[in-house]
Amino acid sequence: MRFDVVSVLPELLHSPLQHSIMKRAQDKGLLEVVLHDLRTFGLGRHQQVDDYQYGGGAGMVMMPEPLANCLDQLIAQRHYDEVIYLTPDGQRLQQGLSNQLSLKENLLLICGHYKGIDERIRQHYVTLEISIGDYVLSGGELAAAVLIDSIGRLLPGVLNDETSALFDSFQDNLLSPPVYTRPASFRGMEVPEILTSGNTPAIEEWRYEQSLERTRQRRPDLLED
């Protein structure tokens, strides 16, 4: 799977994608992330990519010309299943959406900056707008890293145990159950006896009940869905 990411500050994405699971996925050839510096398409001697907004108001807006030139060049080279703009007013990122996007082959991500991108780019190029939460970041780079990680870990072969992702929180609208590891006794606190019983059906039933109860307590809205 390939991600092309357009950003004014692509260096912000280097560290999140060059460690741990995402790095191993790229080393295995299961995931490809290509960063594109929008400033190489900037206008004039200073490679300008932003300007004041029409109508006045605080904050700069990313200009349409550099973005359009960059997107045209990328789209001419390959077909993208989705052109995604990371924005606070987009569709909320949830596990089901990550599952759907993990089945795609090529995704093009646009990282906003300043007050965002010119509306005409959104209307003409963008096919999907995604928000990672009801808050505002300095730019879309960290949101892009979150999106890539949430999708990338679902690709076959990325996780050592491919069934692991199937039991993550939100996969079936339930939060994950509590988990334990050695030692069995820690500062007077014991691992639930059922988990050391070796009775797999009973353990799975216990985990389901724990997931259901934890979801009732912490995220009852998920059960409503």
Q: Which of 114, 167, 163, 153 is nearest to 16 (CA)?
A: 153
Q: How confident is the model at residue 161 (pLDDT cuts 50, 70, 90)?
A: low
Output DSSP code: residue 187. T
pLDDT tens-digit series, residues 170-204: 667 899 999 999 999 999 999 999 999 999 999 99
Q: Where do the DSSP E strands lie in 45-183? A: 50-52, 60-62, 82-92, 106-111, 128-131
**Whether the Cβ atoms of residue 13 and residue 143 lie closer than 8 Å to each other:** no
Please tell me the distance from the alpha carbon of residue 98 to that of residue 104, in angstroms, as a whole number: 10
165 pLDDT exceeds 80? no
Cα dihedral angle (91, 34, 31, 146), rounded to 10 degrees?
Answer: -40
pLDDT tens-digit series, residues 37-52: 999 999 999 999 999 9
- Residue pointed to by tokens 């050592």: 160
**Amino acid sitting at position 159:** L
159 pLDDT exceeds 90? no
Q: How confident is the model at residue 35 (pLDDT cuts 50, 70, 90)?
A: very high
Please tell me the distance from the alpha carbon of residue 175 to that of residue 34, in angstroms, as a whole number: 33
What does the pLDDT read at residue 42? Answer: 97
